[in-house]
Amino acid sequence: MRKTITTPILCLPLMCLLWAGCDDDEPNPALVAQARSMEGSYQVQGRWDLSGPLQEGETIGELSADLLVELAVNQLTIPSSLKDEARSAVRAVIHRPSTLAIDALLPELAEASTREALSALLANLEVSSTLTLTPSGERLRATETITAMSVETDLGALSIPSEIFSAGEERSATLSSEFIARPQDGGLALELDRHEFSVRGDRVALWLLDEVVLKDVAFKTSMITDKLNCDTITGALEFDPIRVAGINIGLNLSKLNTACAQLVSTLESRALGLFSADSGVQHGGRAEAIDEDSDGQVDRLESTEAYSGEWTVVLSSVSPQLAVEFEADRAE
């Protein structure tokens, strides 16, 4: 009698191990079926809004001054506990005059209309990609690869060359991302894990400035670093020793000149001081899966409001948020 009871109990863990199918590990047949109904390749038309960092109403001078404040604070030898207070104090003294000095050196970029025009373009990037979904139990292995990028201008759609938005030969280059997608219980919906692309938002912004916004202007963004003269910028900064919590934080002209030299070289690799050269974008979230002809095979995916994105590396003073939406049609 005893034997017939104890044997199954002792064997249970081993059986689970061998069959990988006890209790919670049992694949949900509904999710497995959903995953199979979504299998295949899709053509994705996405719209990205990369204008987040430009929507604060700041001029190029202000954006650059934000960066100068950060770089100047990094020059200081102060306890980390005082850093926030020191940043506020330095900002209060140098931000406004350096903004005016930089805007005066770059009048072509200081115009509000320039920033607004660039912001409007970055807010409506059309991004084409392919998406393949391969079932694996109740999940899907997904690969998304960006194939093209364009913007709508007054003169019609303009393609952004791939050598601009891709990282070119740099090692971090990847326009293809692998991730997991999870069909959701209780309806045709798919949760796409956050996945990252090292799209060069900085180069896209500079290219759009040159090719569209400043098209009829002799000034080009490659002239930014030549025109930013640190003697002029730091010469505009006059201040008494800055004290924080009773301590002189030691900001002087020499440290400001070092910070300004760093600003100029940083602007060479960052568009307008906004996007770091190695900034990536990542997005993910909920998509609706639509079976238009009710044949059991999903034909279309559409992002929902619960789909979002963000910059992966961005200046601390600007918004990392990135709006992304897409529709994907099954490729025949």
Binding site residues, Ca ion, CB under 5 A: 291, 293, 295, 297, 299
Residue 57: count of CB within 10 angstroms of its CB: 10
CB 83 within 8 A of CB 73: yes
Report which DSSP code applies to 293.
Answer: T
* Smallest gap from residue 299 Cβ to Ca ion (A): 4
CA distance 43 to 310: 22
Report which DSSP code applies to 254.
Answer: H
* Smallest gap from residue 39 Cβ to Ca ion (A): 12
* Smallest gap from residue 220 Cβ to Ca ion (A): 50
Task: Between 56 and 299, name the residue whose CB sits nearer to Ca ion.
Answer: 299
CA separation (Å) from 282 to 32, 200, 266, 308, 323?
27, 12, 23, 9, 10
* DSSP notation for 84-124: HHHHHHHHHHHHHHHHHHHHHH-HHHH-HHHHHHHHHHHTT
* Smallest gap from residue 187 Cβ to Ca ion (A): 16
Task: Between 39 and 193, name the residue whose CB sits nearer to Ca ion.
Answer: 39
Task: Between 41 and 174, name the residue whose CB sits nearer to Ca ion.
Answer: 41
Task: Between 169 and 295, name the residue whose CB sits nearer to Ca ion.
Answer: 295
Type and span of the H or E element at 204: helix 201-208
* Smallest gap from residue 194 Cβ to Ca ion (A): 28
Task: Between 289 and 315, name the residue whose CB sits nearer to Ca ion.
Answer: 289
Task: Between 175 and 290, name the residue whose CB sits nearer to Ca ion.
Answer: 290
Q: Regarding beta strands 189-197 and 281-290, do their DSSP bridges make them parallel or antiparallel, or are they unpaired?
A: antiparallel
* Smallest gap from residue 291 Cβ to Ca ion (A): 4
Task: Between 140 and 151, name the residue whose CB sits nearer to Ca ion.
Answer: 140
CA distance 162 to 200: 10
* Smallest gap from residue 290 Cβ to Ca ion (A): 8
CA distance 211 to 215: 5
